[in-house]
A and B are shown apart, each in its own frame.
Chain A
Amino acid sequence: MVQDYLRPRLEVLRNNQNPDGGWAYFPGKRSWLEPTAYALLALHREAESEAWQKGWRLLRSWQRPDGAWQANGQVAEPHWSTALAVTLHCSQRVYDDSFQRGVAWLLECSGAESSLLVRMMTMVGLSKLGNDPKYRGWPWRPDTTAWIEPTAHTLVALKRAAPQVRNAALSRRVALGEGMILRRRCSDGGWNYGSRAALGIDLPSYPETTALALLGLQGSREADLSDAVRHASQLWQSSRSRWSRAWLAISLRLLGTDLPNEPTDQPVAKDLILNALEVLAAADGGFRHFRPEGKPS
């Protein structure tokens, strides 16, 4: 049955690979790293094919001299999706110089609120950000603030990379990143995209950011995730958003929750990332790409 659900989604991904080997966010557009990484993960069983290898080569070509990856061939700036590129290298068990430089860049990068200046300002009461800058997370792009989603993706990447990296900073950054996520948990038990409150008023959690926070916290020694998992399960039951349901399913399955499959007659989306996420969220095991130990089936 699950194959009936997966087949049309995989077909859409195969049919919408761009001539350069990458994938766009939507059919007919330019290739970007984010949809390319998810499509390659979703199609991992075809990794020996020339089409898959073409996408892999394109993604690898977008690494910059500083070790970061850029968002696409055009926007020549370091980008958070470096985390996805590192995770994909782990899935392919490619631990070469590109991989090491990508990990090194992630270890150097952190939210602007964790800069020495801001931490000193916080210590003397000149900055009132509301979040403890000691807990260094990751931003969407350098020189901006850290947020839940890029932090969660980077934690997944670093945890997967850890056995292949000799850098004492890695475990410390993982602990600080987990600490950042844990301290930004909303009062309802999940996570908003950034903070737990604004102007002193509690913010609601969102399904997709709750899923991603759980993904980043897998294996955390500090966290008791049982309440958060229950909350995520409720969000999965109530959410209409297919994007949210896919991320929730990936997280909940990784954390051992048994979920039913999505209905096989659910129409295939035009959104190519959504197709890839729905493939990865299915019960057949693609979600394990996001597990610290890897091992997709």
Chain B
Amino acid sequence: MARRALTAALAAGLTSCQKTERKIFDGTSPVAVLRAKSYQTELTDTILEGIRLCGLDVKGKTVLLKPNLVEFDASTAINTDVALVAAALRAFRSLGAASVTIAEGPGHRRDTLGVADEAGYWKGIRGFEDQFVDLNRDDVSPVANFANEKQFFLPNTALGADLIVSMPKMKTHHWAAATLSMKNLFGLVPGAVYGWPKNTLHYIGIDNSIVALNRQFRKTFAIVDGIVGMEGNGPIQGQAKDVGLLVFGQDLRAVDATCCRIMGIDPAKVAYLQQAADLGAIAANQIHQRGENPQAVRNDFQLISEFASYRLTPDANTKKG
């Protein structure tokens, strides 16, 4: 814990040394929470409803669906379920997107297509290989001022997309407390440059990297797979958790704050959500909740002891972030 506190202090120090003054987000953001009982139900209509409730226009856009593919373990729920990705593919196509591509760059497995196969993507999505881009091994272009890096390389497929749809699994995370739509953008970093795992991100700092990626990619939408999530020692070794929800929104910070409230985690204590104050809403009174009320569907996730103090208290729901 002391090491985590030291890292956070160093990160905060580095952040405060950065010259850029960022304006704190003071607007409001819609976030939709919709019930979805299982992966066997028809999810396309639910996704279309989530998109409608959040006012997203996708007509004519090149859309990149970014699921969370890590590795496969039949005994738990690590990856975004293929049924949800297949339904999103149908939904975005039906709304007139110019193109819809599925893309991912897993953090430590080299064989991305093999992981996708084990996770059922080849069977569950017809012609999967033709619709998929391995972001670990895509062509890349440099971007400037990524965190404290003078130059940082990112995949052209992601840089060229009009809309990146972050589709994470709702999971706890043993370093970051929760891994949701903002952390899911780690999969956009190319392993061909930064390795497996993308260890450079750990040296930049996990929280700093999450925020830097979200500052880089601003045209985003989130669909969080909370039908079955993961609690405990996530993102790989935790236990499956039935929640029965999908969470939608264009403001990824607001989506993740809402997910935290559903999971019984105080979003104000999650370092990267705090650090991303310029990117979106976190306070409950800045988030226009649509669909289900997060308090009514709260379903506390088990937290490892390092994060026991992150448990949401009743009054934290109404506090400013």
Contact = CB atoms under 8 A, between A and B. Distances in A.
Interface stretch (B54-62, B191-199, B266-274, B292-300): B191-199
Contacts of A30: 139
A210 to B, nearest CB: 13
Given A29-B139, A112-B203, A201-B233, A75 B193 contact: yes
A277 B320 CA distance: 55
Interface residues of A, number: 38
Interface string A129-170: 000000000011101110101100000000000000000000
Interface in B38-93: 71
B117 interface: yes
Interface in A114-136: 128
A140 B134 contact: no
Which secondary structure characterizes the binding site on chain B?
mixed
B134 A25 contact: yes
Interface of B: 3, 71, 108-111, 113-114, 117-118, 129, 134, 137-140, 142, 153, 174, 192-197, 199-200, 202-203, 233, 237, 304
A74 B200 CA distance: 18
Given A128-B3, A244-B114, A71 B193 contact: yes
B157 to A, nearest CB: 10
A145 B196 contact: no
A235 B223 CA distance: 35
30 contacts: A24-B139, A25-B137, A29-B139, A32-B137, A32-B192, A34-B192, A75-B153, A112-B203, A139-B199, A140-B196, A141-B194, A144-B195, A147-B197, A147-B199, A150-B195, A193-B108, A193-B197, A199-B174, A206-B71, A208-B109, A208-B111, A240-B117, A240-B118, A242-B114, A243-B111, A243-B113, A243-B114, A244-B111, A270-B129, A271-B113
A75 B140 contact: yes
A47 B117 CA distance: 35
Contact of B117 (A32, A140, A149, A241): A241
